[in-house]
């Protein structure tokens, strides 16, 4: 029995840990993919190799020099729809929805393995109807939408017939602090009347984007976290105006786009509010947890791709009498990248498992930890791959520049790194205070004065 005491004590402490990054049981380290999902995982990898990789270059080539940047060029959507139809017929579809009746019902942990594969090809997610921001929007609709909202918007999204956007960020305020959102929605009879401005609204430039979820302030007099609501706004509602596209490192990312929008007396039915008035923040928690971790899973796929490219380049070029891989510290560079990818993978899997076992809200510290860690490290890894490619690394001949841009962007989108570090740091401090207050741990100050708590 004596040997069990330290473990019991550890359990007691970690149960009190709330959202901090601690291990509650050894089961938290069981990060294996379930046997049930392995065939699906293998099928996704095979599908990307045989159906998505071969069309990717042509898809983007067809889009070059099109007359209207905010439309798709002839042939592009046909290629994409062909791949989507095949994926659907093979059942490789909508599996991002965890434990849902309408998706494959994958756990976040199982999905993590698949999302890494999706991250290796930028068309893959859409071919399998698993791309942002639709995934987050579909999950919200699926969890809190009314039967009418589901029929009108969720069904066509699940079928991959339309696309959607999520509109929260505003140019006039620090949007990291979502309590400050200014876009107003006021009830006038049976309608919300919306006025405000949003920017960097991804996907709102795509002609297939038919619906937006818009974060609005509906009651400035309510408690701080009850002032906001999320409202469904069809793109073609009078008063919705696309002012232009925001650049991302000089690219407008057309026709997907990251759009600057103005809402002027936009009227939508009262029933377009999601889950009820004042639920905006609760919905954000629901939506942003999975969205953030999906990004990180795909980022690891991108980092894997960068390592592959680095090694291929290092082995295939020679100078100064040696292969590039053997010059300078290149072996160590590759080693460090591999080590970091494996560390990130473990963190992402642990966060996914925490979401499965604790729920999205309780697992938010884990999600913030990976969101703070992964895009920054992936930027560094892709940067090393660019360096090993020389000038070609930043050219259109290789995807590395695009890959770096999207990882750099992720250090801002869905909350900048600092906000996520704040979540983790705060939880750590709170947890430590609780441990010390409960007498379960000594502070450094106690130790220094010799008053060390020895425990039960
Ligand atoms: C390519 C791209 C796509 C995007 N897509 C969407 C979208 O589809 N929908 C949408 O609504 N938004 C989208 N965004 C916007 C993104 O979510 C916001 O930019 C982000 O939340 C930060 O808000 P902000 O730009 O107002 O920065 P601010 O809130 O003004 O923050 C500026 C800086 O202040 C610092 N900072 C902020 N908070 C803290 C803190 N607590 N502690 C320390 N430092 C802090 C950080 O360095 C931060 O970068 C997108 C952004 C990009 C770049």
CATH number, domain with residue 215:
2.40.110.10
**Shortest-distance atom of ligand 1 to CA 177:** 29
CATH number, domain with residue 297:
1.20.140.10
Asked, for residue 384, whether it belongs to a domain, the answer is yes
Measured distance CA(13)–CA(22) in Å, rounded: 10
Q: Which among 5, 9, 1, 19 is positioned nearest to 440, based on CA atoms?
A: 9
Q: Could you tell me if 268 and 286 lie in one domain?
A: no
Measured at the alpha carbon of residue 317, what is the angle toward residues 315 and 322, in degrees to the nearest 5? 80
What's the pLDDT at 21? Answer: 79
Nearest residue (CA) to ligand 1, atom 32: 174
Q: Could you tell me if 318 and 421 lie in one domain?
A: yes
Tokens linked to 43:
């099928």
What's the pLDDT at 445? Answer: 65
Cis before 133 (ω within 30): yes
- Mean per-residue pLDDT of the chain: 90
Tokens linked to 3:
């040997």
Q: Could you tell me if 359 and 334 lie in one domain?
A: yes
Nearest residue (CA) to ligand 1, atom 30: 174
Asked, for residue 113, whether it belongs to a domain, the answer is yes
Between strands 258-269 and 240-245, the pairing is: antiparallel
Per the CB < 8 A criterion, the answer to whether 92 and 44 are in contact is: yes
**Shortest-distance atom of ligand 1 to CA 258:** 3
CATH number, domain with residue 154:
1.10.540.10
Ligand 1 neighbours by CB, cut-off 6 Å: 133, 166-169, 174-176, 200-202, 248, 258, 409, 412-416, 418-419, 422
CA distances from 219 to 76, 156, 228 (A): 44, 31, 7
Give me the half-sphere count of Cα atoms (radius 13 Å) on the Cβ side of residue 13. 21
Asked, for residue 131, whether it belongs to a domain, the answer is yes
Q: Which among 102, 191, 95 is positioned nearest to 141, based on CA atoms?
A: 102
Is the Cα dihedral 279, 280, 282, 288 positive or negative? positive
pLDDT tens, position by position, 387-417: 999 999 999 999 999 999 999 999 999 899 9
Ligand 1 midpoint to CA 410 (Å): 9
Q: Could you tell me if 297 and 194 lie in one domain?
A: no
Measured distance CA(152)–CA(146) in Å, rounded: 10
What's the pLDDT at 29? Answer: 86
What's the pLDDT at 99? Answer: 54
Measured distance CA(198)–CA(206) in Å, rounded: 16
Domain count, the chain: 3
Inform me whether the pLDDT recorded for 49 exceeds 50: yes
Residue from 169, 284, 376, 414 to probe ligand 1 pocket by mutation (most atoms less than 8 Å from CB): 169
Residue from 206, 287, 416 to probe ligand 1 pocket by mutation (most atoms less than 8 Å from CB): 416
Measured distance CA(65)–CA(61) in Å, rounded: 9
Q: Could you tell me if 313 and 426 lie in one domain?
A: yes
Asked, for residue 25, whether it belongs to a domain, the answer is no
Per the CB < 8 A criterion, the answer to whether 240 and 261 are in contact is: yes
pLDDT tens, position by position, 223-248: 999 999 999 999 999 999 999 999 99
- pLDDT interval class at 13 (50, 70, 90): very low
Residue from 201, 202, 412, 414 to probe ligand 1 pocket by mutation (most atoms less than 8 Å from CB): 412
Q: Which of 14-18, 147-151, 355-359 has the highest mean pLDDT?
A: 147-151
Ligand 1 midpoint to CA 416 (Å): 5
Q: pTM for the complete prediction?
A: 0.91
Measured distance CA(422)–CA(369) in Å, rounded: 10
Asked, for residue 323, whether it belongs to a domain, the answer is yes
Nearest residue (CA) to ligand 1, atom 17: 413
Ligand 1 midpoint to CA 393 (Å): 28
DSSP codes of every residue in 216-255? EE--TTS-GGGSEEEEEEETTSTTEEEEEE--BTTB--TT
Measured distance CA(231)–CA(89) in Å, rounded: 33
Ligand 1 midpoint to CA 376 (Å): 15
What SS3 state is found at 83? helix
**Shortest-distance atom of ligand 1 to CA 173:** 26
pLDDT tens, position by position, 90-143: 999 988 776 545 445 788 899 899 989 998 999 999 999 999 999 999 989 998
What SS3 state is found at 20? coil
Tally Cβ neighbours within 10 Å of residue 193: 17
User: What is the extent of the structural domain holding 111?
Assistant: 35-158
Nearest residue (CA) to ligand 1, atom 11: 168
pLDDT tens, position by position, 205-219: 999 999 999 999 999
Asked, for residue 150, whether it belongs to a domain, the answer is yes
Ligand 1 midpoint to CA 288 (Å): 14
């Amino acid at each position: 029995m004596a040997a069990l005491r330290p473990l019991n004590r550890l359990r007691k402490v970690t149960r009190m840990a709330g959202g901090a990054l601690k291990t509650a049981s050894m089961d938290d380290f069981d990060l294996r993919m379930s046997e049930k999902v392995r065939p699906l995982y293998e099928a996704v990898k095979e599908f990307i190799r045989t159906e998505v990789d071969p069309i990717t270059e042509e898809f983007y080539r067809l889009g070059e020099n099109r007359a209207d940047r905010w439309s798709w060029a002839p042939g592009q959507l046909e290629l994409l729809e062909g791949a989507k139809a095949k994926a659907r017929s093979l059942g490789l579809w909508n599996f991002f929805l965890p434990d849902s009746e309408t998706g494959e019902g994958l756990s976040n942990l199982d999905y993590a393995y698949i999302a890494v594969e999706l991250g290796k090809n930028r068309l893959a997610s859409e071919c399998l109807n698993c791309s942002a921001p639709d995934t987050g929007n579909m999950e919200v609709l699926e969890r809190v939408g009314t039967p009418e909202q589901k029929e009108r918007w969720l069904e066509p999204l699940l079928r991959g017939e339309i696309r959607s956007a999520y509109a929260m960020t505003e140019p006039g305020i620090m949007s990291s602090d979502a309590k400050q959102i200014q876009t107003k929605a006021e009830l006038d009879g049976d309608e919300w009347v919306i006025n405000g401005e949003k920017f960097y609204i991804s996907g709102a430039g795509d002609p297939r984007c038919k619906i937006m979820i818009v974060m609005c302030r509906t009651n400035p007099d309510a408690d701080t976290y009850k002032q906001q609501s999320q409202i469904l706004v069809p793109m073609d509602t009078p008063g919705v105006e696309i002012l232009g596209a925001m650049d991302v490192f000089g690219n407008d990312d057309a026709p997907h786009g990251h759009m600057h929008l103005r809402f002027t007396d936009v009227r939508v039915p009262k029933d377009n509010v999601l889950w009820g008035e004042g639920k905006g923040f609760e919905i954000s928690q629901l939506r942003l947890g999975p969205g953030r971790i999906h990004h990180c899973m795909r980022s690891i796929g991108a980092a894997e791709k960068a390592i592959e490219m680095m090694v291929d380049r290092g082995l295939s070029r020679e100078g100064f009498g040696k292969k590039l891989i053997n010059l300078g510290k290149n072996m160590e560079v590759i080693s460090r990248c591999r080590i970091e990818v494996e560390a990130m993978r473990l963190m992402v899997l642990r966060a996914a498992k925490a979401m499965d076992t604790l729920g999205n809200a309780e697992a938010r510290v884990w999600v913030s930890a990976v969101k703070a860690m992964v895009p920054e490290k992936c930027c560094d890894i892709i940067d090393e791959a660019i360096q090993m490619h020389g000038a070609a690394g930043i050219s259109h001949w290789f995807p590395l520049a695009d890959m770096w841009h999207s990882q750099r962007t992720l250090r801002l989108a869905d909350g900048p790194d600092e906000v996520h570090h704040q979540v983790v740091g705060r939880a750590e401090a709170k947890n430590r205070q609780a441990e010390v207050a409960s007498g379960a741990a000594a502070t450094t100050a106690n130790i220094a004065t010799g008053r060390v708590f020895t425990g039960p």
